[in-house]
Structure 1
Amino acid sequence: MVLAELGQKITQALRKLNQATVIDEKVLNEILTEIASALLGADVNIKYVAKLRDAVKTIVTLQMNNAAVANIRKLIQSTVVQELTNMLQSENKPYEFKKGKPNVVMFVGLQGSGKTTTCTKFAYHYMRKGWRVGLVCADTFRAGAFEQLKMNAAKIKCPFFGHKKETDPVKIAQEGVNFFKEQKFEIIIVDTSGRHKQETALFEEMQQVQAAVNPDTALFVMDSSIGQACYDQALAFNKAIKVGSVIITKLDGHARGGGALSAVSATQSPIIFIGTGEHFDDLESFNASSFIKRLLGLGDIGGLVQTVKEAIPEDKQKKMVENIQKGEFSLRDMRDQFSSVLNMGPLNQVVSMIPGLSSNLIPKGREKESTARIKRFLCMMDSMTDEELDCTKPLVELRILRVARGSGTRPEEVAFLLEEHKKFAKMVAQFGKMNLNSQTDLKNLNRNPKQLMQQMSKAIDPKLLQQMGGMGNLMNMMKEMGNMEGMQDMMSQMMGGAGGPAGAGGMPNLGALASALGGGGGGRGMPPGMPPGMRRGGGGGRRR
């Protein structure tokens, strides 16, 4: 996760609360000193560090004499989390895109900030959500800008507008926006030249482009690697044109990212996305509270529930709940589960929402391999007949050979998929023994998550969890989550309780996620002769 080292240092400081028998002013000062040191090391502006320290100390000191030790520990942690969140929040709200009408977005930023790549990521993000998106190249200053954006647009299959020989960015921007408006496009992205605050002529050009296209919002792309130097640049851009929102790039590998995060205050604009890699799906929606909780390893239950709800159609959620209650799990169910895991977004983001799993379940660098594993599984299942997917006809040797040929995989890989399915089917059959056959039963268990965890642990064979590796870790985590704040809401969403059936496929999704990430324990149990790509979780195969 981004800024992982900062998160680890703050977490280590907060852990000292559990070691202290008495929490007095001395212990509080020691913890705050460590947190301040970690923030300064991440290049956060000293003014914000001092403000955070004073705020936490004031709030905690006022209540320290009137609370039990356990409550003081919780108070200090929650206050630190809240003050860190406040540091990244803006009172202003980002522009909300409106379906069925043109929304013009103008991208601005320094040279080398990753603006053109971010335009493509932004377009790809909304295209996957079903929006009609067009890209306009109004960068006539940088050599190769036209070719780069045109090539990126082709890779994500996004319509593109630009003139290679035209030198007037105002004319290109105006023509491009008018063209896409005539074609009824919903989001029109205008990529402009990168510029520095001292380049007066380029700043005037930027203002002319803004006047010509009259954008609904302007997005400032901020390079996190320049740290606190972002502040002056952000201030200059905001004075020249009103910045609506901020996207921070290159947060995946720079310790100075804290400087960029705190520098957003110069624009008084909200951060809406952060760039966490070079690929087009390495763009993460930003929520200050979620970001801080995940940074500190606290997970984001609310974000996870929302992601699950968006990933799974409601009709499939209801069907999945019915099947789980009956103890049934077909290959078609497994295919739906793997598809929904892909729809949830980059796996490292999903895993970071689960408390305690961000560093335990998915090793750094394995995210792409895990995605490739899921896609390879889906290729195999797409080559099966309806009878095979519904498990009404078993896959004998000849059928396995046919599926392997049709999906471009090896028979051993298909056999491994079938073994994975057997494990999940056996686990779901155990869920069926819990007799959660009525809405009343589900509601009662939702009110007492610890009872649900106990029921689950009794129903599932420990030997099965041991075989499934990653799933065993997941179930241990679920037991620990029984005491977590907001657990009732999560279980209600996942098991179809008082909140209705929304998110009901959540539990199997987490199981599918564990299988995809660990492959039954990081590759343990792979059949002999398995190709190296599959053994690592990667592989080729046809795209769906």
Structure 2
Amino acid sequence: MVLGELGQRITASFRRLNQAPIIDDDLLDEVLKEIAAALLHADVNVRYVSELRSNVKKRVLLESDASGVNKRKLIQKAVVEELVRLVSTDRKPYKLEKGKCNIIMFVGLQGSGKTTTCTKYAHHYNRKGWKTALVCADTFRAGAFDQLKQNASKVRIPFYGDYNETDPVKIAEEGVELFKKEKYDLIIVDTSGRHKQEAALFDEMQQVAEVVAPNDIIFIMDSHIGQACFDQAKAFREVVDIGSVIITKLDGHAKGGGALSAVSATNSPIIFLGTGEHFDEFQPFDAQSFVSRLLGMGDLKGLFQTITEAMPLDKQPELLNKISKGRFSLRDLYEQFQNLQKMGPMSQLMQMIPGMSNLMPAGAEKEGVKRIKRFMVIMDSMTDTELDCEVQLNDSRKLRIARGAGASIPEVNLLIDEYKRMEKMVGKMGKSGLFGKGGELTQLSRNPGQVMQKMQSAMDPRMLQQMGGAQNMMKMMKEFGKMENMGGMMEGLGGIDPAQVASMQKMMGGKMKGRR
């Protein structure tokens, strides 16, 4: 998890607060001191840490005298809201518009991961159905052209550049014009990395911005340089109108707090976080969701949004009709595996489930993904009649399928077993009325707790276990139940409904243990 150590230390401070029989001024000072030390260790600017301590203390003193106020909840809520404020800005990010040519220009220091991030950004929107293209206007760094060209070919996105042209302004202008004529939705311009002391390169950046007239200029901020981000971001902001920020290299043990707190220098919102080298290790940023995941409380709102975006059931009438009648084929299973892959890395989904990021064994989600990909390869070796379950898979068919997929007979049998469990589950769901005309599944985004509760009766734990290590779900729920006053902390985050968590807890058989 991004800044996982910081989240664990703040959560430990909350736990200490909850275990104390009496909340007095001395304990409040000690807890705030621990939280401040954790933030400073994560390289957050000392001025912002001081402001956070001061603001929390003022709020507690002002509101704690009111009748019926739970002081523990108040302190936790105040800290959460200050953390959200730390990584937020009042300025709204540029919103891409379908049916219009959106031109996005990337700027940043050399070595900040700008070229890779351009590709990640293009890939993210390409997967969502946008017609995207890349333009290499970096003529300063040797190998920039080749790097972006290779990246673009890997994700199958059109690319424009010129080995022989040394003027980045001309390349940017020609590339943008070419893709404009071809009616691309999103044109991404990669520019040279530059430092605030390189005046000539700053002039060049300004010229590129003038000729391409970008709808948004995105500043790439390298979290590894910590608090030095502030001065660099400020220098870029004074030359071009930075509209958004992407923070990179937040994987590993990076002290990303310096970058997070330096965003104020740009007065621009963070829109994505880069969490690894792979193109899908790229997370949309929402301040409330980020803080929620940071504190181990997951992001149920983001989880349900991800699921409904990847598998919009209202746009799959044929599948809904089949499920309502209890019918489900291997082809349907294959399509749902494809939808699952659209959700992004499984590790990101695990972070959205409260407590799961710490309880899921390292590599467990990768094993689940590997298994799914293996199943898909086996299904690729099947005929149409086999995928549609119109014929019985006898021993000779299984042997042919195994040979075609380079798999073993036991692997084919494992797939068939998983399919049969899924088919049985779908049959139960069909009888439940969830998928019928006017079924409740359309209410998933509005009241997921109730819908999931009803779906629980149809779930087979063995299937979940095979898919991705869900054997730890029960343990996770018990740990989650130990987090006292969780409801109050979630209220501080906004947009996360504690009732949804209670529903999940109930359907897994656990019991909430938090005090009121």
1:400 aligns with 2:411: no
Deviation per CA, 1:322-377: give whole Å up to 9, x if none: 7777766543443333222111111111111111112223x345555543332221
How far residue 120 of structure 1 moved from its aligned partner, in angstroms, is 1.0
How far residue 465 of structure 1 moved from its aligned partner, in angstroms, is 8.2
* Structure 2 residue aligned with 1:522: none
* Structure 2 residue aligned with 1:44: 44
1:24-43 to structure 2, matched below 5 A, reads 24-43=24-43
Aligned counterparts of 1:85 and 1:139: Cα–Cα separation in 2: 35
Aligned counterparts of 2:254 and 2:401: Cα–Cα separation in 1: 47
CA RMSD in angstroms, aligned pairs only: 3.5
1:83-232 to structure 2, matched below 5 A, reads 83-232=82-231
1:376-395 to structure 2, matched below 5 A, reads 376-395=374-393
1:422-437 to structure 2, matched below 5 A, reads 422-426=420-424
How far residue 420 of structure 1 moved from its aligned partner, in angstroms, is 2.5
Aligned counterparts of 2:307 and 2:464: Cα–Cα separation in 1: 23
* Structure 2 residue aligned with 1:523: none
Contact 1:431 1:460 in 2 (8 A): no
* Structure 1 residue aligned with 2:512: none
Equivalent residues, number: 492
Identify if the C-alpha distance between structure 1 residues 459 and 314 changes in structure 2 by more than 3 Å, giving closer, same or farther: closer
Contact 2:369 2:467 in 1 (8 A): no
Identify if the C-alpha distance between structure 1 residues 273 and 448 changes in structure 2 by more than 3 Å, giving closer, same or farther: closer
Q: Partner letter of residue 229 of structure 1?
A: A
Aligned counterparts of 1:181 and 1:467: Cα–Cα separation in 2: 47
1:413 aligns with 2:411: yes
SS at match of 1:358: helix
How far residue 466 of structure 1 moved from its aligned partner, in angstroms, is 8.6
Contact 2:368 2:468 in 1 (8 A): no
Aligned counterparts of 2:134 and 2:188: Cα–Cα separation in 1: 5
Aligned counterparts of 2:179 and 2:466: Cα–Cα separation in 1: 54
How far residue 309 of structure 1 moved from its aligned partner, in angstroms, is 0.9
Aligned counterparts of 1:153 and 1:231: Cα–Cα separation in 2: 31
Aligned counterparts of 2:451 and 2:116: Cα–Cα separation in 1: 46
Contact 2:365 2:469 in 1 (8 A): no
Q: Partner letter of residue 394 of structure 1?
A: Q
How far residue 391 of structure 1 moved from its aligned partner, in angstroms, is 4.3
Unaligned runs of 5+ residues in structure 1 are 495-506, 511-544
1:486 aligns with 2:497: yes
Aligned counterparts of 1:222 and 1:437: Cα–Cα separation in 2: 45
1:400-479 to structure 2, matched below 5 A, reads 400-426=398-424, 470-474=469-473
SS at match of 2:359: coil
SS at match of 2:188: strand
Identify if the C-alpha distance between structure 1 residues 162 and 457 changes in structure 2 by more than 3 Å, giving closer, same or farther: closer
How far residue 242 of structure 1 moved from its aligned partner, in angstroms, is 0.7
Contact 1:423 1:468 in 2 (8 A): no
Deviation per CA, 1:479-501: give whole Å up to 9, x if none: 97898862556899x9xxxxxxx
Contact 2:422 2:463 in 1 (8 A): no
Q: Percent identity between the aligned chains?
A: 58
Contact 1:252 1:276 in 2 (8 A): yes
Q: Partner letter of residue 175 of structure 1?
A: E
Contact 2:136 2:161 in 1 (8 A): yes
* Structure 2 residue aligned with 1:513: none
Q: Partner letter of residue 301 of structure 1?
A: L
SS at match of 1:195: coil
Q: TM-score, normalised by structure 1?
A: 0.81
Question: Relative to structure 2, which stretch is displaced further, 313-322 or 5-14?
Answer: 313-322
How far residue 227 of structure 1 moved from its aligned partner, in angstroms, is 0.2
Aligned counterparts of 1:296 and 1:490: Cα–Cα separation in 2: 15
* Structure 2 residue aligned with 1:13: 13
Contact 1:449 1:491 in 2 (8 A): no
Question: Relative to structure 2, which stretch is displaced further, 219-228 or 392-401?
Answer: 392-401
Identify if the C-alpha distance between structure 1 residues 430 and 468 changes in structure 2 by more than 3 Å, giving closer, same or farther: farther
